Amino acid sequence: MQHYILMADVIGSRTTDQVILMKEFKSCVDYINNKYKSSLLSPLTITLGDEFQGVIKDANTAVEIIISIEEYIISKSINMKLRYVLHYGGIDTEINSEIAYEMLGEGLTEARSRLMNMKNDSHRFEVDIKNEKLNNLLSNSFIVYQDLIDGWNIKRDGELISLFIKKRDYKIVADLVAKTRSQIWKRERGLKMTSYYAIKSILINLTIF
């Protein structure tokens, strides 16, 4: 049976503090599993220490999860970047609803192969959901999305960016951080938050079908 498979791994995991990285990675996975519990056929499960896999009920939820992971990383100012593969493929065995282990199928094999091949590519997002036109639209949209978020200094601006994402009103954010509205308006423009809201909306709405 065909399912939406989401896999990801941490980029450059061997060059960072392993204990801190694994703690942050696990906290991120736990957050997503709790937030999207009703939409996960098989929960995101850490497999090789710096990788996870899961089976998602639909493409729209899978894209929302990817964005939620990125926004969680931003909100916590975590020094971590992930590569993602969203693949629609076959799983021959019964779906394990408790943990994403002990499942076999072409879809899982293909998703893992694609994730491995991405290690030679600068793009962090790959989509293959058996619709060439939609694949191209999503892939190009994710290129724009990555260009925006990878241009941010998360260590310096993570908290501010997260407030913009949550409130979507520079005036409210200005009050929360005790800065003038003019200062925060300029930061909002400099961070290209309007472009972020737009590309996020495009990605989510492309997969509503």
- Both 91 and 130 in a single domain? yes
- Both 106 and 163 in a single domain? no
pLDDT at position 169, please? 97
pLDDT-derived band at 15, boundaries 50, 70, 90: low
pLDDT-derived band at 14, boundaries 50, 70, 90: low
Residue 204 covered by a domain: no
**With contact defined as beta carbons under 8 Å apart, do 183 and 160 qualify?**
no
pLDDT digits (tens, 9 = 90+) for 17-74: 788 888 999 999 999 999 999 999 999 999 887 999 999 999 999 999 999 999 999 9
Q: What is the mean pLDDT of residues 107-124?
A: 94
Residue 198 covered by a domain: no
Return the minimum-mean-pLDDT range out of 126-135, 169-178, 193-202: 126-135
Residue 21 covered by a domain: yes
pLDDT at position 209, please? 77
Domain count, the chain: 2
- Cα 117 from Cα 44, distance rounded (Å): 21
Residue 82 covered by a domain: yes
Q: What is the mean pLDDT of residues 122-144?
A: 95
- Both 65 and 96 in a single domain? yes
- Both 15 and 105 in a single domain? yes
- Both 102 and 61 in a single domain? yes
pLDDT at position 174, please? 98
pLDDT at position 19, please? 85
pLDDT at position 16, please? 64
Residues of the domain holding 75? 2-136
pLDDT digits (tens, 9 = 90+) for 179-195: 999 999 999 999 999 99
Of the candidates 26, 25, 18, the residue with the CA atom closest to the CA atom of residue 80: 25
Residue 197 covered by a domain: no
Reported pTM: 0.95
Residue 7 covered by a domain: yes
pLDDT at position 3, please? 97
Residue 13, pLDDT above cutoff 80: no
The per-residue pLDDT of the chain, averaged, comes to 94
Residue 200 covered by a domain: no
pLDDT-derived band at 11, boundaries 50, 70, 90: very high
